[in-house]
Amino acid sequence: MLGLYLHIPFCSAICNYCNFNRGLFDAALKVRYVDALVTEIESERLRPERVASLCADTIYFGGGTPSLLEPEEVARIIQVCRSSFDVTADAEVTLEANPETVTVDRLKGFRDAGVNRLSFGVQSFRDEELKRLSRLHGAARARDAYREARIAGFVNVSLDLMMWLPAQPVADWLTSVDEAIALGPEHLSLYLLEVYPNAPLKDEMARARWSQAPDDDAAVMYLEAMDRLERAGYQQYEISNVARPGRHSRHNLKYWTDGEWLGFGCGAHSTSGGARWKNVAGTDDYVGRIDRGQPPAIERHQLSAAERVGDALFMGLRLVVGLEETAFADRYGVDVWSRYGPDLEPFLENGVLRRQGGRIFLTRRGMLVANEVMSVFV
Ligand code: SF4
């Protein structure tokens, strides 16, 4: 089954830490962009070289801020996905939403359009932290947006939270975690803030003398949050993701289990039929190409067997269940332990990695140093 990813690159303002592919909202450009997106989706099934199945069981609107689209536009895009692919009746259809962009009516509109899962970019339930991140919403709006989603009938809601924020002590982070638990979403994603070298936030931190807590505190933030979530009935299934039983993100699991997906829109990536390709990143550039009848993909790469194995090891180890050794050997013809065992052994000894029940997996503490373990596969 394919996943369909739709990139919506518009935001009402640009957050000071963001390095996603996005730009400021422009109403006229948005109209042209939605037309281009629809054209790209419709033409996908006509591509002569396509080898993938046309069956899809997930649709994911990511961004940017997809909730800046009108519900009618979302409905039109979902409709064209359904007419161009065999989208299963019970497909997971996710829309990323920012709290300040929604009302009960707009959320009802998204639901009527076919969206059945919302992912809110909350980041924090503390106003001073949200201000430091230059987010447009405050904590009260985030709480209200969550309640409005329930009123609109959504039964599958995810919240994104960020830890290790500028000037954030461990205790403040945990108040956001507790508040999220009290609200009771079906799914949560927890990320560590990464301050990129050219992010405006970096300068603001220097000017305001905000610093991130020491590394040891970041570890406590992660471990204590995961413990609290587990005690509240959530199951961690990936380094950064927890869910109520059965409520994991079906779409995102495709990325971690060497699945196939097609990405539409500017900068969207696709992986299918053993190949990987990427669309041109600029919004204008993308719309121009589609208008001129040119393909939007600029980079196409046929994956070698070794690259597929490397990617599968990297992504599989992000999952709490880790790598199932026999299944991995059957699928890729590689005995992970024969090939990498000597390099992985030290990680077993210091409790970062475990090999048990035919599986190799990171311990929770190991998830904090996942990159080090994964460097073995490079
Ligand atoms: S809303 Fe999200 S995508 Fe848009 S600028 Fe902020 S962090 Fe980036």
Cα(295) to ligand 1 centroid in Å equals 27
Cα(311) to ligand 1 centroid in Å equals 27
Of the candidates 135, 121, 7, 123, the one whose C-alpha atom is nearest the C-alpha of residue 63 is 7
Section 151-167 average pLDDT: 98
Rounded to a whole number of angstroms, the distance between the first and last alpha carbons of the chain is 29
Query: What's the pLDDT at 54?
Result: 87
Query: What's the pLDDT at 282?
Result: 97
Give long-range contacts, CB 8 A cutoff, 24+ apart: 19-22: 19/196, 19/199, 20/63, 20/64, 21/64, 21/266, 21/267, 21/281, 22/63, 22/64, 22/65
For residues 50 and 354, what is the distance between their CA atoms, to the nearest angstrom? Answer: 40
- Nearest protein CA to atom 6 of ligand 1, as residue: 15
Q: What is the CA radius of gyration of the chain?
A: 21
14 CA closest ligand 1 atom index: 5
Query: What's the pLDDT at 158?
Result: 98
Sequential DSSP letters for 324-346: EHHHHHHHHS--HHHHHHHHHHH
Query: What's the pLDDT at 53?
Result: 67
Q: Are 269 and 276 in contact (CB under 8 A)?
A: yes
- Condensed to tens digits (0 to 9), the pLDDT of residues 238-255 reads 999 999 999 999 999 999
Local confidence band at 47 (pLDDT 50, 70, 90 cut-offs)? low
Whole-angstrom CA distances from 246 to 150, 186, 236 are 19, 9, 12
Cα(207) to ligand 1 centroid in Å equals 22
64 CA closest ligand 1 atom index: 3
Q: Are 78 and 55 in contact (CB under 8 A)?
A: no
Query: What's the pLDDT at 44?
Result: 80
- Nearest protein CA to atom 7 of ligand 1, as residue: 18
Q: By percentage, how much of the chain surpasses pLDDT 90?
A: 95
DSSP state of 232: T
φ, ψ of residue 6 in degrees (nearest 5): -120, 120
- Condensed to tens digits (0 to 9), the pLDDT of residues 188-246 reads 999 999 999 999 999 999 999 999 999 999 999 999 999 999 999 999 999 999 999 99
Query: What's the pLDDT at 50?
Result: 57
Local confidence band at 49 (pLDDT 50, 70, 90 cut-offs)? low
User: Which residue has better confidence, 20 or 47?
Assistant: 20
| Residue among 7, 8, 11 to mutate when testing ligand 1 (max atoms within 8 A of CB) | 11
Q: Report the relative pairing of strands 260-264 and 241-243 from DSSP bridges.
A: unpaired
For residues 244 and 185, what is the distance between their CA atoms, to the nearest angstrom? Answer: 8
Cα(267) to ligand 1 centroid in Å equals 15
